[in-house]
Amino acid sequence: MSEWRKKSLGFMCIKIGSGSTPTGGQESYKSEGISLIRSQNVDDFIFLYNGLAYIDDKQAEKLVNVTVKANDTLINITGDSVARVCSVPEHIIPARVNQHVAIIRADEIQLTNDFVKYSLLAMKEHLLSISEIGATRRALTKMMLENLEILTPSLPEQKAIAGVLSSLDDKIDLLHRQNKTLEAMAETLFRQWFVEEADDRWEEKLLGELLTITSSKRIFYSEYVTFGVPFYRGKEIIELRNTGSTTSELHISTGRFDEIVSKFDVPKEGDILLTSVGTLGVAYRVKASDQFYFKDGNITWFKDFKVPSSVIYLWLISKVGQDELEAITIGSTQQALTIEGLKSICVKMPTKNKIDKYADDFEIILTKIENNQTQIHTIEKLRDTLLPKLMSGEVRVTIS
């Protein structure tokens, strides 16, 4: 460890600074053009493409001083997502950043950008602790980042350490991209079979006739415990849908869960949960390994299927299903999906033989997605275990 030294980011970086807001705010956003990176695009380890905004050349010229380069480190510096860190992917260049995101660019003579990224990720708790400015809003300032000291080995060892962690991130990214392709394939097949090749002779059924649509038993605030069976809200269901895993902030006791199992029911493999307040219409299909309970009102429960749940799941996430959900949404300030509204949706169903054939093909795709999500979770656990050990020098790598 003698050759490892603590040095400040300000000493080892050629750029540390936050972005800026385009003139006109969101009204200046375009459907294509120069990428504008915002805080919602920056997650720990990964760049999120959903919600990526674009600006035109004229706006981009005004923001030329906040231009990012491929593999720059990005860090969120304000709000609930403060201290989230990732790299800039090459294929979104040219790009700018807004005021909630800071660019960190290493002086590559003494520091690599990847090593900066992994150092900041390993210092997450410290970054959160120093960001607690004020009672309502967290923030990291330019001075905080410049004064931040990180432990650095030689440049070859930095590259070797980053190489180990990057190889795991690359595998995770590949599996995520495979899942996006598989989901697109499943949605394409669903549209082909249930929309383009639909037959007027198919029977029209109410969704409530094809399955049971219900919710959970109410869990009161006084029943929350620190450890026990995870208790999910819409937030966790969305994370499960997107990544296959989540970390629950709330729990109920094992005794309370067992009581619910014995007197009522809990979600089981193949059941579907649908977010019904706030962010609407996000569907998650329960896995065999899942054990949890969920918040009534916020989430609707689909169970006791008379047709394969894979068919209903793909209908829910298809454009056809999403349009139907939008049509029955109620409320103006707080939008919601109601159980009665969901039951009343009309769905055209082919013959049982066709449904069974379609469901077999759907199940193959959905099983592959679930297997990939399991692999992702395993690799993430390995990476998260190695990260602090590698970045502290507790575990050393061989330099070739």
| Percent over 70 (pLDDT), the chain | 98
In 3D space, the residue among 158, 122, 147, 165 whose CA is nearest the CA of residue 3 turns out to be 158
* Per-residue confidence (pLDDT) for residue 51, from 0 to 100: 81
Q: How far apart are the first and last CA of the chain?
A: 18
How confident is the model at residue 29, as a pLDDT?
A: 87
How much of the chain, in percent, has pLDDT values that exceed 90?
A: 78
pLDDT score of 132: 72
**Predicted confidence (pLDDT) per residue in 156-165, tens digit:** 999 999 999 9
Q: What is the mean pLDDT of residues 139-149?
A: 93
- Whether the CB-CB separation of 309 and 271 falls below 8 Å is answered with yes
- List Cβ neighbours of 188 (8 Å cut-off, separation of 6 or more): none
- The distance from CA 370 to its chain's CA centroid, rounded to whole angstroms, is 15
Question: Residue 24: its pLDDT value, please?
Answer: 74
- Which CA distances in Å does 294 have to 82, 156, 158, 274, 300? 27, 49, 44, 11, 9
Distance CA 393, CA 36 (A): 36
pLDDT at residue 144, rounded to an integer: 94
**Average pLDDT, integer, range 351-365:** 93
Cα separation, 217 vs 277, in Å, equals: 17
What was the pLDDT predicted at 134?
58
Question: Average pLDDT over the chain, rounded to whole?
Answer: 92
What pLDDT does 238 receive? 92
Question: Which CATH homologous superfamily contains domain 5-152?
Answer: DNA methylase specificity domains (3.90.220.20)
Domains 5-152 and 203-349 share a fold: yes
What's the mean pLDDT in 20-47?
87
Band (131; pLDDT cuts 50, 70, 90) = confident
Give residue 2's pLDDT.
55
> Which pTM does this prediction carry?
0.83
Q: What topology does CATH give the domain 203-349?
A: Adenine-n6-DNA-methyltransferase TaqI; Chain A, domain 2 (3.90.220)
The model's pLDDT over 36-84, given as tens digits with 9 standing for 90+, comes to: 999 999 999 989 888 899 999 998 998 888 999 999 999 999 988 899 9
SS3 content of the chain, % helix, strand, coil (to 5): 45, 20, 35
Burial class (CB in 10 A: 0-12, 13-18, 19+), 307: buried
For 11, the token pair is 């000493």
**In the prediction, which pLDDT does 166 show?**
96
Residue 1 has pLDDT above 70, yes or no: no
Using pLDDT thresholds of 50, 70 and 90, give the confidence band for residue 21: confident
Identity of the residue numbered 163: G
Whether residue 94 is preceded by a cis peptide bond, meaning omega within 30 degrees of 0, is: yes
In this predicted structure, what is the pLDDT of residue 362? 95
Residue 300 has pLDDT above 60, yes or no: yes
Q: Tokens 């009672």 label which residue?
A: 135
- Spatial CB neighbours of 213, under 8 Å, sequence gap ≥ 6: 207, 300, 301, 302, 339, 342, 343
* Every domain of the chain and the residues it spans: 5-152, 203-349
